[in-house]
Amino acid sequence: MSNGSENTVESTLFTTGYCRQIERFTRRDAPWRMNTFDALVVLIHHPRIGYLLFDTGYATHFFTETSCFPYSLYRAITPVIFSKRDALVSQLNERGIPATAIRFIFLSHFHGDHIAGVRDFPDAVFICSQEAYQHIRDKRGLAAVRKGFVPGLLPPDFSKRVRFIEDGKRYPFQEVYGVFDPVYDLFGDESLLAVRLSGHAPGQYGLFFTDRIAGPTLLCADAAWSMEAIRNQSEPHPFTYAVMGGKKEYRRHFQQLVAFHQTQPQVRILPSHCPEARSIAKGGER
């Protein structure tokens, strides 16, 4: 891949509230203690395309849509700490970026902590995998909750505003880096590459790009919970696999992340709930 300035972007990390969960569930060498897991969002500025979001994190819609049974079960299982100011749309407004400036929203997968803010961006075109969308589009009630999906978080016109990753051009990432396939070139300029990391959720995708300052970056969504897990090669607790499903695919992609980190240590990997990503977001670094 060429690293010329023509295909570099600028990225800024945000956290949008957090949930509390037992750390051991995410990493089997971690202690049995409650820890906090922030919901990371990345704002990407592409010189030609404009603003794109990687996920949307928590938002006020999460609370209105999970106030009644059965969706209230979701909130009971992952207690969320959030104030209105944490919503991405508020944080962007504070920086002088109106909601209407967001042209695209890339959705790694359809769990509530990744899609809760989409209704705050009425002009955005959604980019997700057809595989992920097919899996949840008709799910309602308990069947939806079991998939971590809250249907009311998506706007009614979602299907008219969505564009599927798989319709794009394939990029030979595996030939260059030895791992990850398929990978799609979102805008045909090699600037934003969608990397299939299915397992945590069916059809989950991450995003690979070169930040103008921080260099090559892989947003791996929930394919790993932390960089510590990748460094220690520590998989989730068996209980998590039992609840999550997709164990075989999760393990395959997790091992690929481990190998990718070992052979390409210069690439910054950012899992969506990683404490190290949270520090970057809170420190205002890129």
Residues contributing to the site for Zn ion (CB under 5 A): 111, 222
Give me the least distance between CB of 37 and Zn ion, in Å please.
10
In this structure, the number of other CB atoms found within 10 A of the CB of residue 151 comes to 17
Three-class SS state of 184: strand
Give me the least distance between CB of 8 and Zn ion, in Å please.
28
Q: Which residue number, 37 or 51, has a Cβ lying nearer to Zn ion? A: 37
Q: Which residue number, 65 or 222, has a Cβ lying nearer to Zn ion? A: 222
Give me the least distance between CB of 111 and Zn ion, in Å please.
3
Give me the least distance between CB of 188 and Zn ion, in Å please.
29
Q: Which residue number, 9 or 270, has a Cβ lying nearer to Zn ion? A: 270
Distance of CA 233 to the CA centre of its chain: 21
Q: CA 43 to CA 101: how far, in whole Å?
A: 11
On whether the CB atoms of residues 226 and 233 are closer than 8 A, the answer is no
E strands in the chain:
10-22, 34-46, 50-54, 80-81, 102-106, 125-128, 162-164, 169-170, 183-185, 193-196, 205-211, 215-221, 268-271
Give me the least distance between CB of 78 and Zn ion, in Å please.
10
Give me the least distance between CB of 222 and Zn ion, in Å please.
4
The angle at the Cα of 45, spanning 209 to 57, to the nearest 5 degrees, equals 85
Q: Which residue number, 185 or 222, has a Cβ lying nearer to Zn ion? A: 222
Total residue count of the chain as it appears in this document: 286
Q: CA 154 to CA 4: how far, in whole Å?
A: 37
Burial grade of 118 (CB within 10 A; 0-12, 13-18, 19 or more): buried
Q: Which residue number, 187 or 241, has a Cβ lying nearer to Zn ion? A: 241
Give me the least distance between CB of 228 and Zn ion, in Å please.
18
The DSSP result for 61-114, as a single string, is: HHHHHTSSTTTHHHHHHS-EE--GGGSHHHHHHHTT--GGGEEEEE-S---HHH
Q: Which residue number, 124 or 197, has a Cβ lying nearer to Zn ion? A: 197
Q: Which residue number, 9 or 30, has a Cβ lying nearer to Zn ion? A: 30
Q: Which residue number, 111 or 237, has a Cβ lying nearer to Zn ion? A: 111
Give me the least distance between CB of 162 and Zn ion, in Å please.
19
CB within 8 A of 180, min separation 6: which ones? 173, 174, 195, 196, 197, 253, 256, 260
